Chain A
Amino acid sequence: MSNTEKWKDINKSREKRPKVQEYKNWKELPPIPISLPIDGAIGITGDWRTFRPIIDQDGCNKCGICWMYCPEGSIINKEDGTFEVDLTYCKGCGICAKECPTNNIEMKRESDITHE
């Protein structure tokens, strides 16, 4: 396959598609700009974080509102029904803490956590 046909892989099944496509120049590009669903399309956003959400598992009523509201999909719904923050991609926006109906998520300063 020539370089210029690299983009035709996107037509393949989900499993056979490449995870990331890289193009060097305009000739290699697909006809239109597209995004394929992959983890962290624009990088590891976890290092943007200055405040970290801490879920108090004891007070959590497992409603899942944090999971729904998280703009980055960084809240993981675990098999036992509890929720956990994926710190690789959590950028610390605080929306989960704001939306939590039981006020059970605390935003803690990253520097404080490292000092502990």
Chain B
Amino acid sequence: MSKARKDFTQEQETKIIKGNVSAAYAAKSARVQVIGAYPITPQTTVVEKLSEFVDSGSMPGTQYIKVESEHSAMASMVGASMTGTRTFTATSGQGLFYMNEMLHWATGTRLPIVTAIASRGPAPPWNIWADFTDVISQRDTGWMCSFCATHQEIYDEILMSYKVCEDYEILLPKFVAYGGFILSHTSKPVIIEDQEAVDNYLPPLPDEKGWPHIFMDPERPMMFGNLIMPSGFYSEFRLKIHDAHMKAKEKIKNAAKEFEKSFGRNYGNGLTQQYKMNDAEVGMLIYGDLALQMEEAVDLVREEGYKVGMVKLRYFRPFPVEDIINIAKSVKVLGVMDRATAFGSPTGGPVSSEVKTAIEGVEKTAKILPMIGGLGGREVTLEQQTEQLKILIKMNETGDAPGDLFHGTLWHGKLEVE
């Protein structure tokens, strides 16, 4: 099969493309063999572009399965991946929720399916704009999950994902999430890499033998999806999934290192990426598109003489506990900005709750200020982000948290009509 697919052509080229198109190009560069997807705003242009690629013959041999729902999209991916193929799909918000049952199936069968998520706010109230609650709400499906801050990162991260997911010690599915509209529909220059360079970077496509643990071959029959009695190895298989997540941290770091060697673009250590944190007294942990703009805000605030820094959280699952502890030890105040909600959790924000858990019991860590903002695509301006940094600076100077916290969390940028 892999021999017949030599005629993928792509030279290194910079294109001004939407984030969604960047995701489609990544799937093409990765030579995905089966795509099963259902369109949903704001992901639609990913599947539009992919169907264009398949139709025009620029992805020879790739199967595009037209499905009738997201549940079927993921089911088709599970089925296709079981036969030993590289698979790709994309969705958003409500579509992701509809996939939920099949997401568990993908983890349980340990299939390296990569799914791009153009994140959007869950309804109701009906919302189609950037909000990471959709992908974070799938936290416990066992999928790996990372966020992108730039158009280029979407392309790069999807390639890195295949490298990590298809590692025989990992074999896990993964979400690559980016803010709906903010990244999905804006256009920026993206470097599409040379096909041969990508082929050299990625592991080879699975051959007729399929994955090592699961395959559909009448010559080597096997049964999977079996029932396990309570006295059987059920919890042990669950432990193995968690074990794979823990092992994935090293693999993610290696994949990022190798990526830098091959393509020259740096993504920190893979799990987190620091910006001007070396001498910082105050830091901000932030993820998704807001992270890029926060770099600009950090520079602006530094011009005024304050020692601030920023950490981009690239991975939410596996959660980079060790990195978070180091960061929390290196600064005095750490803001954690969530563009997502976790109702009823310790802080109301999913990542800030996890940060608090991660540093539990560690001595001399920063004061954590959980923040929530930009929900449902609400614009977060550069001015607002500098203001957020200044709140942290003030907290460091006076030792007091700002007054208008809601149960310990700062909901920044709330509308107040005069």
Report which A residues bind B (CB closer than 8 A): 7-8, 10-14, 17, 23, 25-26, 29-37
* Residue in A closest to B232 when the chains form the complex, CB atoms: A33
B73 smallest CB distance to A (angstroms): 22
Contacts of B237 in A (CB 8 A): 26, 29, 32-33
Task: Known contacts A31-B240, A32-B110; decide if A23 and B233 are in contact (CB<8 Å).
Answer: yes
Contact A34 B222 (CB under 8 A): yes
Contact A31 B220 (CB under 8 A): no
Verify if B219 is at the interface (C-beta below 8 Å from A): yes
* Residue in A closest to B170 when the chains form the complex, CB atoms: A31
Task: Known contacts A26-B240, A32-B109; decide if A10 and B228 are in contact (CB<8 Å).
Answer: no
9 nearest CB pairs, A to B: A26-B236, A35-B223, A31-B110, A31-B213, A34-B224, A33-B226, A34-B222, A26-B239, A11-B212
A11 smallest CB distance to B (angstroms): 5
B13 smallest CB distance to A (angstroms): 38
Task: Known contacts A26-B233, A29-B240, A32-B213; decide if A14 and B110 are in contact (CB<8 Å).
Answer: no
Contact A11 B226 (CB under 8 A): no
Contacts of A23 in B (CB 8 A): 233
Beyond A32-B109, A32-B237: 18 further Cβ-contacts under 8 Å?
A: A7-B213, A10-B222, A11-B212, A11-B220, A23-B233, A25-B236, A26-B239, A26-B240, A29-B233, A29-B236, A31-B171, A31-B214, A33-B233, A34-B213, A34-B214, A34-B224, A34-B226, A36-B223
Q: What is the size category of the interface that chain B forms with chain A? A: 20 to 34
B245 smallest CB distance to A (angstroms): 13
Q: Within the assembled complex, what's the spacing in Å between the Cα atoms of A33 and B110?
A: 11
Contacts of A13 in B (CB 8 A): 219-220
Partner of B212, one of A8, A14, A17, A29: A8
Contact B233 A11 (CB under 8 A): no
Give how many A-B residue pairs fall within 8 Å (CB-CB): 66
Verify if B215 is at the interface (C-beta below 8 Å from A): yes
Contact B233 A32 (CB under 8 A): no
- Give 30 A-B contacts (CB < 8 Å), ordered by A residue: A7-B213, A10-B220, A10-B222, A11-B209, A11-B212, A11-B215, A12-B220, A14-B219, A23-B233, A26-B233, A26-B236, A26-B237, A26-B239, A26-B240, A29-B240, A31-B110, A31-B213, A31-B214, A32-B213, A32-B224, A34-B213, A34-B214, A34-B223, A35-B223, A35-B224, A35-B226, A36-B221, A36-B223, A37-B221, A37-B223
Contacts of B268 in A (CB 8 A): none
Contact B220 A17 (CB under 8 A): yes
Verify if B108 is at the interface (C-beta below 8 Å from A): yes
Which among B223, B239, B243 has the greatest number of chain A C-beta atoms within 10 A?
B223
Contact A33 B213 (CB under 8 A): no
Contacts of B210 in A (CB 8 A): 11
Q: Within the assembled complex, what's the spacing in Å between the Cα atoms of A8 and B237?
A: 16
Contact B228 A33 (CB under 8 A): yes
Contact A36 B222 (CB under 8 A): yes
